[in-house]
Chain A
Amino acid sequence: MIRGYIQRLGQRNPNCPFERLDPRCKLLMLLIVTAMVIVGDGVACAGLFVAVGLLACFSRLVKLFFITSIFSIILWCVFFVIFNTVLKRPLDDPRAMFFGMVFRGTTLTITGVWFAMTTKLRDMTAALEAWKIPAVIILPLTIAVRFIPTLLHESLVIRDSMRLRRIAYRRLDLLRKPHLIGHSYLALVTIRSLKMADELAAVAETRGLARPGIKNTYRPACFKKCDYYALGLLTSLTIVLTTLSIVLP
């Protein structure tokens, strides 16, 4: 499943309405949701949880939504049992903790993943450039995201090689031979990454990326009607949830 999501990071889907939104709009939405999750009470968080569930339905993240929710519920249950039976110190407010872990946690996770899945690297950098963010911030960000699939691929290949030679092929080996795994695995991943970074730098130079002067963008970042609608919808939701928080006990 993780591999599938990582692949979707790089796959452009022109039919997806969320991909048509300006990344700055999505960034603003992410900030508003985060702020609401932090300051909102249980009612607001429950409302956001439902809204995020709907968002997950339209952005092929339903499976992740349910997995995250169930995982949070299990984690809450584990804490509840540990505090009540082992530590013999019942939780002060188990309901608040449930809201915090399940509603807040799931809402933030799904919104973050939705942002990552529907925002392509090139669009993001174009949006940041439009915000006049300096290149020293944009460039490392671009390289970091570019390296995610490479690092994942390298890690999987090296892990398979270690299994083939029976160096570390059982889950327990992580506990039994941490030095060997750390040394063999991390050192090799680092060496391979550095080598690739050097090759990429050479390629960059032969493609004239150091050229001075004005750079144009094929997909320039610009706010469109749909961005305003999306922000308007979220603002309305915020007002409704805030009102409900005040009205409902």
Chain B
Amino acid sequence: MLKIHDLTFTYPGQKIPALSSVNADITPGKLVLVTGPSGSGKSTLLHCINGLATQHYGGSAEGEISVAGREIAGKSLWQISELVGTVFQNPNTQFFQLTVEDEIVFGLEHAGLDRATIERQLIRALQDVEIEHLRHRDLFTLSSGEKQKVALASILAMDQPLILLDEPTANLDIAAIHELKEIFKKIKKQGRTILVSEHRLWYLRELADQLIVIKDGQIAYDGQPNILKSTEFRDAIGLRIWEQSPQTKMTISCLKKHQETILKVSGLTGGPSRKKHIVNNIDLTLETGCCVALMGHNGAGKTMLSRLLTGLQKEQQGSITINGQALKTRQRIGKLACVTQQADQQLFSDTVLDELLIHPDDAPATRQQAEQMLKQYDLSQLAGRHPQTLSGGEKQRLAIAAAMIANPGIIILDEPTSGMDRRRMELLAEQIVTLCRQKVLVILITHDVELVASCADQILWMENGTVTETINRNGFEVLLNDLMKMNSTNERHEHEISNCLLK
């Protein structure tokens, strides 16, 4: 289905090739997992296959790529699009229309198909991805998982033999990942070839037929995915977990006792309007120097809880006490730091140093403090750079530094490891532990079981707007195992998806 022979690709203005001497042979009907550290060239490989690398980004490529026996070189992008369908990482930037149906038929209309064929392919794509109920919905009101399904349906409707997916689970919760896995199974049965570029590997362990590992622009491994069972292999490349659930490590705060209470929440209820409550009657007492993971499926109320805590949303009932002081909505703004998954939406200045010097009138930071903070977050050498030109990890470190310069005592990290490789995830976990050492309360809102296992002291499981369970580290393994379905049969998996924690 896909043959790559001696492919070397260089981005414009770069001397070092992003990919060098890549060879691969993929047979039809297989699911191929492409993985490797961030920046290793996974996305570039996908862009070489769909033609974007040379024709959109303007790089230069040598070597040959053929899909279904047809050479890609010399073909225009619309010709390649008849053979290759691509689902991108961010579902928000791959839609052209406002409703699900319009989006799916958009590509079919441009292919010049007649109405009957469009209707047939639309219905088939909706059924394949099981989103018939979303047919007339507004795209922008869907959850991340639903959006990703719509993106996949738009591609499946086009009926291309090769489907490329660039980190499809980066924005998904665990329930949505399991649903995506079931869809992959279905597509595979239809005989289509799927190429998935991923950091999260565990959900593909029963599906992947071939593994391609890319490191520094070269193929480090091409063969059976079973090699991922080897911890040495994963450690050497820096890959995430495959078969075993993550090992829970002892964290700093576990060793300490009798911490001071920093955050107390009593009977907290709130939502986007007076009539609609997403968070219902939450009681919490959290201590300094702890890392608490807030987990639960999408829509459970995690983000709303963080909005209520930070003062972005007004509570309907209940009280929030920070450092022994009950604070009203407006008083809470700035008392808790919050860093979201899109760190670039939180950086406003022209230089990295200036980012730390933008300050509210009542808490100015000095240049000396800012420089010290940059040093602490290993950003000193980037002080003069524009924040929007930094890499993803650097942007996130800067966002944390900018949030922490006001010395808030509590920080909320919302999906901080979305699309992160293992090394960057471990670095973040180290930073979290450092923050805990500095007696900062870290609240993690995440679906990343590996991050939770690395640094969290406690999991607060949320369902229907309330905390239903508090799990300490000795209970992590059971929960994380359940979430990842390491020890379950398909029947149990389906039962759990429909009844318990996940949905």
- The residues of A that contact B349 with a CB separation of less than 8 Å are 184
Interface of A is mostly: helix
Give 19 new A-B contacts, CB below 8 A, not counting A164-B403, A199-B93.
Answer: A7-B141, A11-B99, A121-B97, A154-B345, A157-B340, A164-B333, A165-B358, A166-B360, A199-B94, A205-B78, A205-B81, A207-B106, A208-B107, A211-B78, A211-B111, A214-B112, A216-B118, A218-B105, A218-B108
Residue A50, interface by CB 8 Å: no
- The residues of A that contact B359 with a CB separation of less than 8 Å are 166
In Å, the complex CA distance between A16 and B246 comes to: 51
Indicate with 1 or 0, residue by residue over A153-195, a CB within 8 angstroms of chain B CB atoms.
1100110111111110100000000001001110110011000
| CB under 8 Å from chain A, chain B span 112-147 | 112-115, 118-119, 122, 136-141
Contact between A196 and B348, CB atoms less than 8 A apart = no
- The residues of A that contact B254 with a CB separation of less than 8 Å are none
Contact between A199 and B88, CB atoms less than 8 A apart = yes
| CB under 8 Å from chain A, chain B span 131-174 | 136-141, 154, 158
| CB under 8 Å from chain A, chain B span 400-431 | 402-403, 406
In Å, the complex CA distance between A12 and B158 comes to: 23
Residue A84, interface by CB 8 Å: no
- The residues of B that contact A7 with a CB separation of less than 8 Å are 138, 140-141
9 closest A-B pairs (Cβ-Cβ)?
A10-B98, A10-B138, A208-B81, A166-B360, A184-B348, A166-B334, A12-B136, A211-B78, A199-B93
Supposing A163-B312, A191-B388, A201-B56 touch, asked if A218 and B93 sit within 8 A by C-beta, the answer is no
Indicate with 1 or 0, residue by residue over B81-108, a CB within 8 angstroms of chain A CB atoms.
1101110101011111111011001111
In Å, the complex CA distance between A167 and B86 comes to: 40
| CB under 8 Å from chain B, chain A span 206-222 | 206-218, 220
- The residues of B that contact A20 with a CB separation of less than 8 Å are none
Contact between A13 and B136, CB atoms less than 8 A apart = yes
Contact between A169 and B345, CB atoms less than 8 A apart = no
- The residues of B that contact A135 with a CB separation of less than 8 Å are none
Supposing A166-B406, A207-B81 touch, asked if A215 and B109 sit within 8 A by C-beta, the answer is yes
Cβ of B171 to closest chain A Cβ, rounded Å: 14
Contact between B140 and A149, CB atoms less than 8 A apart = yes
Supposing A199-B93, A208-B77 touch, asked if A122 and B102 sit within 8 A by C-beta, the answer is yes
Indicate with 1 or 0, residue by residue over A123-157, a CB within 8 angstroms of chain B CB atoms.
00000000000000000001001100110011001
Interface of B with A (CB < 8 Å)? 50-52, 55-56, 76-78, 80-82, 84-86, 88, 90, 92-99, 101-102, 105-115, 118-119, 122, 136-141, 154, 158, 310-312, 330, 333-334, 337-338, 340, 342, 344-349, 358-360, 362-363, 388, 402-403, 406
Chain A residue with the shortest CB-CB distance to B105: A218
In Å, the complex CA distance between A27 and B124 comes to: 34
In Å, the complex CA distance between A10 and B154 comes to: 17
Supposing A205-B52, A210-B78, A213-B112 touch, asked if A153 and B136 sit within 8 A by C-beta, the answer is no
Contact between A192 and B136, CB atoms less than 8 A apart = no
Interface size range on A against B = 35 or more
Contact between B96 and A200, CB atoms less than 8 A apart = yes
In Å, the complex CA distance between A167 and B403 comes to: 11
Supposing A160-B312, A200-B93 touch, asked if A11 and B345 sit within 8 A by C-beta, the answer is no
Cβ of A110 to closest chain B Cβ, rounded Å: 22
- The residues of B that contact A162 with a CB separation of less than 8 Å are 348
Query: Which of A121, A180, A183, A218 touches B109 (beta carbons < 8 Å)?
Result: A218
Residue A9, interface by CB 8 Å: yes
Chain B residue with the shortest CB-CB distance to A203: B94
In Å, the complex CA distance between A11 and B98 comes to: 7
- The residues of A that contact B108 with a CB separation of less than 8 Å are 218
- The residues of A that contact B94 with a CB separation of less than 8 Å are 199-200, 203
Contact between A169 and B138, CB atoms less than 8 A apart = no
Chain B residue with the shortest CB-CB distance to A211: B78
Residue A249, interface by CB 8 Å: no
Contact between A216 and B348, CB atoms less than 8 A apart = no
Chain B residue with the shortest CB-CB distance to A210: B78
Contact between A207 and B98, CB atoms less than 8 A apart = no
In Å, the complex CA distance between A188 and B338 comes to: 18
Residue A204, interface by CB 8 Å: yes
In Å, the complex CA distance between A210 and B81 comes to: 10
